[in-house]
Structure 1
Amino acid sequence: MYSYKIGISKEEHDSFVKKSQQTNLLQSANWAQVKDDWGNERIGFYQDQTLVASASILIRPLPLGMTMFYIPRGPVMDYQNRELLTFVLDSLKTVAKAKRALFIKFDPFILFEHFQIDAEPVSNPDAQEIIDTLKAYGCEWLGRTSDMAENIQPRFQANIYAQDFSEAGLSKKMRQAIRTAKNKGVSVRFGSHELLADFSDLMKKTEDRKAIHLRGIDYYRKLLETYPKHSYITLATLNLKDRLADLDQQLEQKQNLLSSYDDKVKPGKIDNTKNDIGRLTDEINFLKEQLAKGKQTVPLAGTLTLEFGGTSENIYAGMDEEFRRYQAALYTWFETANHAFERGCQWQNLGGIENDLSGGLFNFKSKFKPEIEEFIGEFNLPVSPLYKLSNYAYTLRKKFRSNH
């Protein structure tokens, strides 16, 4: 016999999610604290006193006292158990009606298919059956959407797994980029609040460069404080004076080499040395300009990572485009992954990518040879007769915001 309980403890909910095959950060109880502009309920579903399904629900206030329920990457449950599925959805509708919800939006942590780049997709044999079952119950499926903006959470993500990840497994070009960062004096630190100001500055530069609206330092602080033992910032920095001293030494060596050449030296070798001198001179001038602005040690790139139940996710990442030549962003993401796996995480979510596997997000993240994972997507479960009108208004508002 099934029953449900509203307001189960964080500990009971999180323990269930961590033991499931659908472990994910967005269904951790603390995620609702991050999204504190929404309301929250945790509901546990039991079979003979045993917890068999759970959902952390975000509740969005709407005009006229109405609400919207949203269950990111949940509920966590066995979707092939039709009796349980029916009970969970029936119960959610009952609770939603009591909260004056117009509809329930949810996107289960279930893959449609997954694949390595340039390899044949591996389909989830249960995905279509689950979709059909949810549709038969009355849920509206948004389908295999083609635009990232059509869903609240990305329907495609790039994941790397500890068991498969190594520097040796990366492309020659990627390994060279990592060596370039190291050779140019880029150093990487892991920390928390002491790195917040530099990280926030990088995010502001990223925001300005991409002409998008991101979060501010208070939000990043909230993430660290909400997951105090399971969060960290990775920050790549460059000591300008140290790098300049190294370059001055290299330049002197190249100039001495050029002056030592006689008529027997091949023109190609002379040209290569002159090119090296030009490259070194250009970087020296760049660093002198930065030092003249009062800069000493500068942040180049950073990520903010959260962990939950053996999983790790890059929530935010930023870089200073002016220092792009140092390959700090790639190096930072690489070291972030290594750090996550050293801390015992099984996989790291690099975040969402474009659904058509093109564009900047995909091009950058594909360099890490991730597993591309496609989720089955979002469903809407109508609760109120006003659902169609409210969903139409919601869709228009979301489209407007994505275009601005």
Structure 2
Amino acid sequence: MYSYKIGISAEDHDRFAIASDQTNLLQSASWAKIKDNWANERVGIYENDQLVAVASLLYQPLPMGFTIVYIPRGPIMDYTNGDLVNYTLTTLRTLARQKRALFIKFDPAILLRDSKVNEVATENPDAQLIIGNLQAAGCEWVGETTDIAENIQPRYQANLYAADYAFDNLPKKTKQNIKTARNKGVQVQFGGSELLEDFADLMKKTEARKGISLRGLDYYQKLLATYPDQSYVTMATLNLKERAELLDQQLQKAIAEKATFTENTRKNKVENNQKEIDRLTEEIKFLKGKQSKTKRDIVPLAATISLEFGDTSENIYAGMDDDYKHYQPAILTWYETAAHAFKRGSRWQNMGGIENQMDGGLYQFKSKFDPTIEEFIGEFNLPVNSLLYKLSNTAYTIRKKLRSKH
């Protein structure tokens, strides 16, 4: 016998979510505090007083008193149980009707298939049963969308797992880039709010480079304040002064060596020496130029923000100063970000979404870490107001496409 309860405690909700195989940050009770421009309600489904499903619902107000409901990466339940799925969605539709919702949109944390990079994907044997159960409960499946912008949450993501994450397991080029960053003096530190001003500056530079609009300092502060013990900033820095001094010592040594050359010195030795002098001179000029502009000895090069929920970790924002890209700071930062997550006890770290066709810049960068490529089953719509659903969903789809172009 099923029953439901509105307003279950955050503790009960999170305990169930963490114990499930669908643990996801977006279904943590605290995520609603991040999305505080939406109303929130937590619902629990019980079978004989035993909690068997949870959903953290976000309500977005619309004109004329209507709303839409979004359940990010939820509800959390056994989707192979048709009776449970039907009861849960029937209950949610009833509750949404009381809020004058036009429809409920949700994208459960259920995979359709997954694979390692450049390998044949493994199908989820329960995926078609789950899709069928949801459709039988009255849901419309958006389907296997082909554009990352078609969904609220990416349908494809790159995920790293602690069980097989190690430096030696990375692709050869990635290992070389990490070594390059370290050899060039890039240092990595982990921290919190004390790093956020530099982080926000890096994000502004990323926005300018990509021509996109992201978030500001206040939002990043809210993330860390909402997840005070489950968040960290990873930041790569370079000490301009120390690096320039080290290179100057190497330059003087190369110049001194050049002074010893005679007409009998091998040609390739002379050429290599000159190349070294030119390389060192150029980098020293670059570093001193940066130091004169920033008035700082130590500058941030790249950074990420990670949030944890249960034994999972999400790398949710990342920025870089493109002027320092030849120092490979992003590669080192992302590598250390995941390594730190696993040291803190995470089972996996989500690197974030990638293009559905796996042919864009997100995929090209994240594939360097040999992640598992995970494809979710995608979004479902559960109509609540049958008269206005089609019109409102069409308007929503058009608005989303227009926003994705800006």
- Bucket of the pairwise TM-score, normalised by the shorter protein: over 0.9
* Structure 2 match to 1:166: 166
- Identify the residue that residue 16 of structure 1 maps to in structure 2: 16
> How far apart in 2 are the matches of 1:269 and 1:121?
51
Match of 2:368 in 1: 367
* Equivalent residue, structure 1, for 2:391: 389
Structure 2 residue identity aligned to 1:232: Y
> Post-superposition shift, 1:130?
1.1
Alignment of 1:4-83 (within 5 A): 4-83=4-83
What percent identity do the matched residue pairs reach? 60
C-alpha distance in 2 between matches for 1:258 and 1:129? 74
Residue identity matched to 1:387: Y
Contact 2:102 2:384 in 1 (8 A): yes
Q: For structure 2, which runs of at least 5 residues remain unmatched after alignment?
A: none
Please give the per-residue CA displacement for 1:169-222, whole angstroms capped at 9, x wherever unaligned: 112211111111111111111111100100000001001111100000000000
| Structure-2 residue corresponding to 1:218 | 218
User: What does residue range 279-290 of structure 1 map to in structure 2 within 5 Å?
Assistant: 279-290=279-290
- What does 1:89-100 align with in structure 2 at a 5 Å threshold? 89-100=89-100
Indicate the SS of the match to 2:316: strand
Pair 1:233 & 2:233 matched: yes
Q: Distance in 1 between matches of 2:316 and 2:161?
A: 17
Partner of 1:318: 319
Letter in 2 for 1:330: I
Partner of 1:108: 108
1: CA distance, partners of 2:171 / 2:274: 30
1:366–1:287 CA distance, 2 compared to 1 (3 A)? same
How far apart in 2 are the matches of 1:213 and 1:129? 39
Q: 2-side partners of 1:71 and 1:264: how far apart? A: 76
Query: Is the counterpart of residue 258 in structure 1 residue 258 in structure 2?
Result: yes
TM-score (norm 2): 0.98
CA contact (8 A) 2:85 2:133 kept: no
Deviations along 1:224-256, whole A, 9 cap, x unmatched?
000000001011111110000001011112222
| Deviation of 1:259 (Å) | 2.6
Which segment drifts farther, 267-276 or 48-57?
A: 267-276
What is the deviation of 1:279?
1.2
Pairwise CA distance, 1:264: 4.1
1:149 counterpart = 2:143: no
SS at match of 2:168: coil
Hey, what does 1:247 align to over in structure 2? 247
More displaced stretch, 147-156 vs 253-262: 253-262
Q: Which moved more, 1:227-236 or 1:289-298?
A: 289-298
Q: Distance in 1 between matches of 2:83 and 2:380?
A: 19
Amino acid in structure 2 at the alignment position of 1:230: Q
Contact 2:30 2:226 in 1 (8 A): yes
Q: What letter matches 2:304 in structure 1?
A: T
Name the counterpart of 1:180.
180
The residue number in structure 2 matching 1:402 is 404
Secondary structure of residue in 2 paired with 1:270: helix
Q: Give unpaired runs (5+ residues) of structure 1.
A: none
Query: d(CA) in 2 for partners of 1:265 and 1:6?
Result: 85
Q: Is the 8 A contact 2:72 2:107 kept in 1?
A: yes
Q: Answer whether contact 2:26 2:72 (CA < 8 A) is retained.
A: yes
**2:170 is paired with a residue of what secondary structure?**
coil
C-alpha separation between the residues in 1 aligned to 2:261 and 2:311? 59
User: Alpha-carbon deviation of 1:136?
Assistant: 2.8
Cα distance in 2 for partners of 1:166, 1:221 equals: 31
Aligned-pair distance for 1:269? Answer: 2.8
CA–CA distance in 1 between the matches of 2:135 and 2:270? 71
The one-letter amino acid of 1:290's match is K
Corresponding residue of 1:277: 277
In 1, Cα distance between equivalents of 2:140 and 2:68: 15
Give, as a single letter, the amino acid of the residue that structure 2 aligns with 1:301.
A
Question: In 2, Cα distance between the equivalents of 1:253 and 1:365?
Answer: 39
- Displacement of 1:257 after TM fit? 2.2
CA contact (8 A) 2:45 2:53 kept: yes
- For each residue in 1:288-315, what CA deviation from the matched residue of structure 2 results, as whole angstroms up to 9, or x when unmatched? 1112212321100000000001000101
Aligned-partner SS, 2:18: helix
Q: Deviations over 1:43-95 (max 9, x none)?
A: 00000000000000111111110000100111000011011111001000100
Q: Distance in 2 between matches of 1:108 and 1:162?
A: 23
Return the offset for 1:133: 2.2
Aligned equivalents of 2:14 and 2:80: distance in 1? 22
The code of the aligned residue for 1:369 comes to: D
Equivalent residue of 1:15, what SS? helix
Instruction: Say what the alpha-carbon RMSD is for the aligned residues.
Output: 0.9
**CA contact under 8 A between 2:141 and 2:379: conserved in structure 1?**
yes
